[in-house]
Amino acid sequence: MKVNLFFKIIFAALFAVVVQIFIYFAFGNVYTAPLFNINSFKEQYESGVYQHRWLSTSLLIYIYNFLESLPFKIRLKMDFWDKGAQPNMFFAYAFLNTFFLILSNIILLLITETKYFLANQSEKIFIIAVSTLSIGISQFVLVPYDCSSYFFLFAFAFVFLKYLEHQKVIHLVSLIFILIISTLNRESSALSLSFAAVLLYNRFGLRKESWLPLLYLVLGFLATYILVRIFSQSFEVRNDNFLIKNLTQTRSLFGILFWLIFFVFSLLISNNRQTTRNILIFHLVSIPYIAMCFYTGSLYEIRLYIPIFLSCVLISKLSVEKVNLR
């Protein structure tokens, strides 16, 4: 059945809304419960490594302040695990992350409509549904910057495909701009570099057309990463060392199992040997991010693998024919 683009956009947006409603309001959040308080939130996210992820953190505080300023209260039956929880803080999380998940789904839908994305209509809808649900189940850990980071990840991928087609300077400049904004939001923006590296190599091999744009992108990322830390006068890259815990704690081992299962899933839906190889190469060039996850993050927080998984889902269906350049 052929469905017009407008209808599919409406579906993708409403699918995101429905998933978020049940994730946020049908379950009681235990893991992040202490942070549903503005003072606790600021204490964590305005210090240490978290202070460098200020974009969505600032947006969430803005939404909270707006909700607090309203002459009425949002009346929903809510039960919180933490006695100090503020409903408007929880609503701020819900509004911010739902907004960016809607945008993420729309951009993902547009990516599936490009000529490089080889899938039938059923597979395209399936990809959107799986991506949305995987993001949903990872939100037992609520943070202000995950859903927005997925939007920037997809936005980068969408513009990057435009760059591959036309190789215009305006597209490259747009990619650098998206990467800068994405890096101000979360360091996982580095995965966009891995995505670009894989497809550039797949398209152009080791020619200048491959490494030169990647060089500009890397410089854009590094400049943003370093300048943010200079302005904040803090070069912290971790708060704690989780490596031993990640390799020994039972719940972290379940996190590793999640990584493995979803890694295999991306391989199983891969179109062909080339896309399978691209997924493997993507993981290889993403080793710096993966190593930092093992070293500084709790692998029980499966959200850490989601941006890798989403990138691999895209790569599994993207066919970028190699060109012969003289």
Q: What pTM, to 2 d.p., does this model score?
A: 0.95
Residue at token pair 């503020």: 86
The answer to whether 104 and 150 are in contact (CB under 8 A) is yes
How do residues 254-281 score in pLDDT, each as one tens digit?
A: 999 999 999 999 999 999 999 999 999 9
Q: Does residue 323 sit within a domain?
A: no
- The span from the CA of 272 to the CA of 261, in Å, is 19
Q: Does residue 23 sit within a domain?
A: yes
How do residues 28-74 score in pLDDT, each as one tens digit?
A: 888 888 899 999 999 999 887 888 888 999 999 999 999 999 998 88
Assess whether pLDDT exceeds 50 at residue 326.
Answer: no
- The span from the CA of 286 to the CA of 301, in Å, is 18
Could you tell me the pLDDT band of residue 322, with boundaries at 50, 70 and 90? low
Range of the domain at 19: 5-317
- The span from the CA of 182 to the CA of 196, in Å, is 15
How do residues 117-139 score in pLDDT, each as one tens digit?
A: 999 999 999 999 999 999 999 99
Q: Does residue 324 sit within a domain?
A: no
- The span from the CA of 199 to the CA of 210, in Å, is 9
Q: For residues 28, 98, 56 and 296, what is the CA-based torsion angle, rounded to 10 degrees?
A: 50
- The span from the CA of 315 to the CA of 270, in Å, is 8
How do residues 154-194 score in pLDDT, each as one tens digit?
A: 999 999 999 998 889 999 999 999 999 999 999 999 999 99
Q: Does residue 325 sit within a domain?
A: no
Q: Does residue 256 sit within a domain?
A: yes
Closest CA to 7 of 113, 92, 123: 113
Q: 254-287 in b/e burial notation, b at 16+ Cβ within 10 A?
A: ebbebbeebbebbeebbbeeebbebbebbbebbe
Structural domains in the chain (count): 1
